[in-house]
Structure 1
């Protein structure tokens, strides 16, 4: 803890920048947008299926756009890129608030997914991975605390605001908050000693390769071996969380119990995120990455056997551990594999693929449930994919593939 505190005090400007952007990414995340779904269905006369299709297409469109925009963080000053992202998020929230037609709502959702879930997260994690070498793991751990804190605080605030302001007023308030809080914050925090915030932490170069682009990555066999491990946790968690009521019913858990277990998920995510940071700095991300899915695999097994109410908390806790590990390990790994100078380009590619996978997950999960596939069979299948992904990741880090 002393090392963490000293590090935070020394690097408080850039760390607070990363934390703030992960926190504000919440406005483009499914957990927050889902709070407004009943109002979207009512005001735009949409069915659950039709809104689900609109949301999935918006998510896929944002995923397709992300690599083309995300790579510019490697070429533009951090301040300029960050301001563009913040303004995009502000415009997205405003667009949703004034949407008078379903087509305008679609544009607003697309911009929210792109600027929020996509670019805000991308900006924070790329900045941490790019500008910290010796303490990259700790930097990512601290910045990524914005995710669980947003998950814990914002739903309560939004549900309290909607009855007072209406759902449109709530989105207008979000847009205003971004305009008067996030944008001035970026201007202030990245002003002054700009050289410190545009030059990576001085250290001997510990990257494995010279700066890379998409063509180099797509011809790298390690990319394909690592891809399942990168995508599977978010893929399964998106689908399982979306249909958590079905999980509760089939496994004998109450809806209240599974909702309460989200506390275990958030707590595990915070603990594992903070805990893995110093280990990354000591051992490197490549040594840890092949094993980071083992907790989520164990969680699937716990839910598969579902021995009692306590298993809901163990299931959610283990899922949270992998999510906490993964958010730090992946950004650090791209810097180790391809160099800090192109971490934004590489990360935007993987982020886009992850968004694609999370867009497809609800379709697959819904189809399986509609066809009466038992939740235990789904959980067992998820466990098998985790084992396969782990073995492929272990193969990716064989010495022969690293030259």
Structure 2
């Protein structure tokens, strides 16, 4: 803890940048958008399955755009890139607030998923991985605290605002908050020496390195073995959180209980994120990656048996552990495998595939719920997927397997 405090005091400007961007990414995350789903269904006369399809299409469109937008963090000054992301997020919230037709709602959701879930987290984690080489694990752990902070604080604020402002007014307020808080923050924090540090030496401005980097990953056999473990947390958490109320009813939990259990999710994410940073710096992300899904698997088993109200908290706590571990381990892993200079380009590719998986999840989960598939069957499938993905990840780093 003493080392953490010294590190934070010494590098507070860039660390606060990372924390702030992961916090503001919440406005494009499923857990926050899910709070508005009942209002979307009523206002636009949608079913769970039809909204799931709309949300999946918006997320899919975001995934296809992310590799092209995300790679520019390796070629533009961080200040310029982050301002573009912030303005995109502000526009997204405004678009949702004025949506008078389902097509306009779709555009707003697309921009939220791209600027919020996609580029905001990408900006924070890429900056930490690029500019902290010796203490990358600690930097990622601290920056990633913005995720659980948003999960713990923003649902309470949003649920209080909606009855006062209406759901449209709440999105309008979010847009204004981004304009008066996030954008001035970026202009202030990325100035002076910090701005010089985060401005790349672009030389001739040639962009030839990006295609080579994509080819490097796609030709790497380890990519395909690691991919399931990369995708599973976002896939399952997106689907389960988007329809959390319907799922809670099947498992005998009240909506209030599952909402309260988000506190356990946030606490676990904070503890695991802080705890894993020094371990990454000591052991490497390669050694930790194959095991980071195991708490999530245990969480699915806890929900599968769901014996009593305590199981909701255990389920959410264990899911939070994997999300906390994964945020730091995955970003550090790309830097270890492919180098710091191209981490933004590489990470945007992985993020795009990850977002693609989250595009499929709402549609699939909505269809299963509408067709009365038992939640215990879904959870058992989730446990099986965790076991298989962890096994493939172990295989990816076995040198004997490749020799």
Q: Fold match, TM over 0.5?
A: yes
Matches within 5 A, 1:301-312: 301-312=301-312
User: Which structure has the higher relative contact order (CA within 8 Å, separation 6+)?
Assistant: 2
User: Is contact 1:211-1:338 (8 Å) kept?
Assistant: no
* Equivalenced residues, count: 394
The residue that corresponds to 1:261 in the other structure is 261
Q: Distance in 2 between matches of 1:341 and 1:401?
A: 29
- How far residue 392 of structure 1 moved from its aligned partner, in angstroms, is 0.4
The residue that corresponds to 2:207 in the other structure is none
Label 1:61 to 1:376 Cα distance change in 2 as closer, same or farther (>3 A).
same
User: Is contact 2:99-2:105 (8 Å) kept?
Assistant: yes
User: Is contact 2:79-2:190 (8 Å) kept?
Assistant: yes
Label 1:256 to 1:289 Cα distance change in 2 as closer, same or farther (>3 A).
same
The residue that corresponds to 1:139 in the other structure is 139
Q: Distance in 2 between matches of 1:355 and 1:130?
A: 22
- How far residue 109 of structure 1 moved from its aligned partner, in angstroms, is 1.4
Matches within 5 A, 1:216-255: 216-255=216-255
Matches within 5 A, 1:380-391: 380-391=380-391
Deviations 1:104-144 (A, max 9, x none): 22211111111111100100010001111111111111111
- How far residue 172 of structure 1 moved from its aligned partner, in angstroms, is 2.0
The residue that corresponds to 1:7 in the other structure is 7
Q: Distance in 2 between matches of 1:293 and 1:111?
A: 29
User: Is contact 1:62-1:113 (8 Å) kept?
Assistant: yes
Label 1:218 to 1:157 Cα distance change in 2 as closer, same or farther (>3 A).
same
User: Is contact 2:31-2:241 (8 Å) kept?
Assistant: no
User: Is contact 2:76-2:200 (8 Å) kept?
Assistant: no
What's the TM-score once normalised by structure 1's chain length?
Answer: 0.92
Matches within 5 A, 1:101-120: 101-120=101-120
Label 1:364 to 1:338 Cα distance change in 2 as closer, same or farther (>3 A).
same
Note if 1:181 corresponds to 2:153: no
- How far residue 401 of structure 1 moved from its aligned partner, in angstroms, is 6.9
Of 153-162 and 370-379, more deviation after overlay is shown by 370-379
User: Is contact 1:14-1:197 (8 Å) kept?
Assistant: no
- How far residue 400 of structure 1 moved from its aligned partner, in angstroms, is 4.8
The residue that corresponds to 1:323 in the other structure is 323
Query: Which secondary structure does the structure 1 equivalent of 2:341 belong to?
Result: helix
The residue that corresponds to 2:19 in the other structure is 19
Note if 1:196 corresponds to 2:204: no
- How far residue 212 of structure 1 moved from its aligned partner, in angstroms, is 5.7
Q: Distance in 2 between matches of 1:400 and 1:337?
A: 18
User: Is contact 1:222-1:401 (8 Å) kept?
Assistant: no
Query: Which secondary structure does the structure 1 equivalent of 2:314 belong to?
Result: helix
Query: Which secondary structure does the structure 2 equivalent of 1:341 belong to?
Result: coil
Unaligned runs of 5+ in 2: 202-209
- How far residue 345 of structure 1 moved from its aligned partner, in angstroms, is 0.8
Note if 1:172 corresponds to 2:172: yes
Of 225-234 and 85-94, more deviation after overlay is shown by 85-94
Matches within 5 A, 1:22-171: 22-171=22-171
Q: Distance in 1 between matches of 2:321 and 2:136?
A: 19
RMSD of the alignment, in Å? Answer: 2.1
- How far residue 96 of structure 1 moved from its aligned partner, in angstroms, is 1.9
Q: Distance in 2 between matches of 1:284 and 1:212?
A: 25
Unaligned runs of 5+ in 1: 201-209
- How far residue 187 of structure 1 moved from its aligned partner, in angstroms, is 1.0
Q: Distance in 1 between matches of 2:303 and 2:376?
A: 8
Q: Distance in 2 between matches of 1:211 and 1:9?
A: 38
Query: Which secondary structure does the structure 1 equivalent of 2:99 belong to?
Result: coil
